[in-house]
A and B are shown apart, each in its own frame.
Chain A
Amino acid sequence: MKKYWSDRGCIITEPYDLEVGAGTMCPETFLRVLGPKPYRVAYVQPSRRPADGRYGENPNRLYKHQQLQVILKPTPADVIDQYLGSLEAIGIDLTKHDIKFEEDNWESPTLGAWGVGWQVMLDGLEITQFTYFQQCGGIDLELCPAELTYGLERLAAFLQGVESVYEIEWTKDVKYAAVRLTDELQMSVYNFEMADVPTLWELFGLHEKECQRLIDAWPKYEEKHRFPVLGAYEQVLKCSNLFNLLDSRGAISVTERVGVIGRVRKLAVGTAQLWVEQQQ
């Protein structure tokens, strides 16, 4: 798949080295979709969703799964054909399998981002989120990018015909469970049972403060091109992950939720605006 997208002009990068909930949150997507510059990139991104953890007991739900994230900015007119070609490139014969595009509009309130698109169903299995980005960090995008997010565990299980992601053969004689089951179990215990809520709130506050400090420093900073917008954005990612952790610990009541989302969103929007200004 990486080869396929590389052949179509995508830069191939390695995963971002901070914890994120989805490939969308990596700067390679979140910041690069802003502004007028064309960009094409593909990368695998391990994505953490603390609340989705199942202690390794559920065959299909994971705390951390791998996404292949593809950004095509601007969207080529034959984007769907290219997408279908990518499935054929990994050995799925689309004359023998059923593909459907079912309406599914993606939205991330914490990132102030949304788009419209589909979940792509392969023989009844959701394998890709296909989104035409419209807004990111609260900013209407100059060029509409297509975002393809493949669920790699699902695709691998599909290709190997196994019932559980833990049965996926990672390499000869080594199953997915041997590599990842311990993570799933231990991180589920941590996320649901042992993560210390006051500490998480404290960390959230620290990262929020650091991010806001940087945003506030921007107007007076002389050499704009040196300003660490990326440093500020990493603080947003920290906050976002801490929010997810607090959520999985059940520490955020429904009424509080909107407020906390608003706090993260404010930072994301602030950082996105700095990035756009800096690029000009």
Chain B
Amino acid sequence: MNFLLEIGVEEIPDWMIVPALVHLRDGFANLLATNRLKGQVHWADATCRRLVIMAEGLPTGQKDSIEILNGPPKSAGEGAAQGFARKSGITFEDLEVTSTPKGEYYTYRRKLVGRPTLEILDEALPGLILGIPWPKTMYWSDKGSSRFIRPIRWVTAILGATTLRFNVAGVDATNTTSGHRRFGKPSIRVAIKHYEIKLRDNHVLVHAADRRKKIEDGIAALLEGKDLTLKADEKLLDTLTYLTEWPTPILGSFDPSYLTLPEEVLVTVMRHHQKYFSVSKPDGTLAPHFIAVMNIPSDPDGFVVAGNERVLRARFNDARFFWDADQKRKLEDRVESLASVTFHAKLGNYLEKTHRVWKLVEQLGGDEHAQRAALLAKCDLTTDMVKEFTDLQGIVGGLYARAQGESAYTAEAIYEHYKPLNMEDSVPSSHGGLILSLADKLDTLRECFRVGMAPKGSSDPFALRRAAQGVVKVLVEGNITTPLNTLLGGDAALEEFFADRIRYYFREIRGYKYDEVNAVLAAGKDSLPDVAERLAAIQAVRPTPDFEPLAASFKRIRNILEQASFTAGTFDPALLEDGPERDLYQAASALQLGAGYTTDLERIASLRPAVDLFFDKVLVNAPDANVRMNRLALLYSILTRSSAIADFSEIVTS
């Protein structure tokens, strides 16, 4: 049988919908499994007003089963058996004697009659629904009543052709759903097979993929034949997909005179405040148009376009007002005001932070432009523009710096210093931007660790992991070779924290294998760009046939040296035995390194036949102590010379 569950809810915040749906889908699958019911979820989907599961293959009920209760051994006598029967709510006559390898026991075969699926679902669904975890819940009736993300207003639940009978949060399950708020009927009787069509007839596209496609196709149609290109924005598309039930895009315009405002500001107003897509001209610059997405089928009189245009005009006017007002006080005149902007209650204000970052930039070798940028970087926090559009911090500072005659280097560094915002974002493109970004993040990390605000478990309220990963990314991709630990202020906890972030970056972001990362880091991690280069070499050479066997041999060498507690010793070529031992020595001596990591690794790998033969034919543990020490010294020198790129003993060989 098929099963349909639709939870009708007042508008759920768009960003919470997908995680809730995943929980509901998995929870339902789990509910079937724990109740020994066959069947699976066919699909799960949602709009802002409904969470839906469609399942298939459900049986009418559980199969009957038998549970065996084990009682006392027969040798314990009838008295014990009667006690067992009483306790189990049965009589002595119900018991039988079963032979087991351990002897004869009284047992009882309890027949379990399978329960109807309907009954199981009626019982379990309220808990499943109310158990969906939300970031913030509410009650909508009296104190202590059910909580959910927003009020539940209807529940549609049908198994085959039967309507379920449960009640959740004061709402009875029915076989009716509800259409679009203005273009659908409020109460629609549905059967499972017509569910999606009925909703479509009532202006609800229940599948997110259908809504997304309707938006994309609609935009394509609006732009067809015009010299305009959509500025793709997947996140906004997601938001609009889950903010609507029947999305329809419209194209609006604004006065080109607003284009004198920076594009970043215009796009932010459209994107964050109005949820509009931006559009660009053939030359890539912003076009005086926008695309909004309505939750109704059409705008025949142009009211919606006109309304959105009017709102955007007001917003742009605000932005222009802020821009003009902010220019009355230059960034450099705002530095002292940073004393009244709190960085963090425990960490003082932004003026103090500015001074620390300024010093760090100097230590990192920032030139006068970078130092100037450090001084001005946080001043935009006092501007009206950033108070209004907080996402534009840094960017606004950079734009203002340029408008106020700061050097292009300084302006660029300020503009970019929050980058990378995440691991997908690029690092700053200018040297000043790199150094300022580094100094800003390092300062935050050092200060937070200093006062004991290191992240614990999954709690990381100051996004310190992201900041540290940003530092690693900037060092590697910005090719800054300064040893990381010299930048951490000697804080052991912070060094350990960074060790994890470095591993995370190379494994999860760059995709290197964990043993490669371990091998390379074990051979040194002062310069992170160098680590990256050595990793690339290992990855390139690893598939060659000699590499892994040689790594295995190196591991053997390491073990031998450790067992012999060998740390240093003099080597005398005269003590070499002709044959494999001298051959290995000669091969190792002939090794010319320093030709680049990949070539070096290939050359080291070419030692493999000589090493193999050595271990095959030569006894390291020779009876003569001098010969033994000499052989250990030979192996030691080969291992040491070859381990500058990576510690091969960390490589896991198959």
- Chain A residues proximal to chain B, CB less than 8 Å: 54, 57-61, 74-75, 77, 80-81, 84, 94-103, 105, 115-116, 118, 122-125, 132, 134, 140-144, 158, 161, 163, 253-255
Contacts and interface: CB of A to CB of B under 8 A. Distances in A.
Contact of A123 (B138, B308, B313): B308
Nearest to B303: A96
A95 B151 CA distance: 24
B304 A97 contact: yes
B67 interface: no
Interface string B290-323: 0010111001110110111011111001100100
Interface stretch (B139-147, B493-501, B511-519): B139-147
A103 B136 CA distance: 12
B13 interface: yes
Contacts, number: 113
B136 A84 contact: no
Contact of A103 (B13, B181, B276, B296): B13
For B299, B311, B340, the residue with the greatest tally of chain A CB atoms inside 10 Å of its CB is B311
Contacts of A163: 310, 313-314
Contacts of A101: 10-11, 48
Nearest to A131: B138
B456 interface: no
Chain A CB within 10 Å, residue with most, of B142, B304, B314, B321: B314
A116 B136 contact: yes
Contact of A116 (B14, B138, B294, B304): B138
Interface of B: 10-11, 13-14, 48, 136, 138-143, 150-151, 153, 181-183, 186, 243-244, 274, 276, 292, 294-296, 299-301, 303-304, 306-308, 310-314, 317-318, 321, 340-342, 345, 349
Contacts of A96: 296, 299-301, 303-304
B341 A98 contact: no
28 contacts: A59-B317, A60-B318, A61-B318, A75-B151, A84-B181, A94-B182, A95-B183, A96-B296, A96-B301, A98-B295, A98-B296, A101-B11, A101-B48, A105-B136, A116-B138, A123-B311, A124-B274, A124-B276, A125-B307, A132-B140, A141-B143, A142-B142, A143-B143, A163-B313, A253-B340, A254-B340, A254-B342, A255-B345
Closest 8 CB pairs of A and B: A123-B307, A103-B13, A101-B11, A98-B294, A124-B308, A124-B311, A254-B342, A116-B138
A95 B314 CA distance: 25
Contacts of A118: 11
A57 B318 CA distance: 10
Given A124-B292, A255-B342, 13 more contacts: A59-B314, A84-B181, A94-B181, A97-B307, A98-B296, A100-B244, A101-B10, A123-B304, A124-B307, A132-B138, A140-B143, A144-B143, A163-B310
Given A102-B243, A142-B143, A254-B341, A122 B307 contact: yes
A77 B153 contact: yes
A154 to B, nearest CB: 10
A123 B139 CA distance: 30
A32 to B, nearest CB: 16
B143 A103 contact: no
A103 to B, nearest CB: 4
A96 B299 CA distance: 6
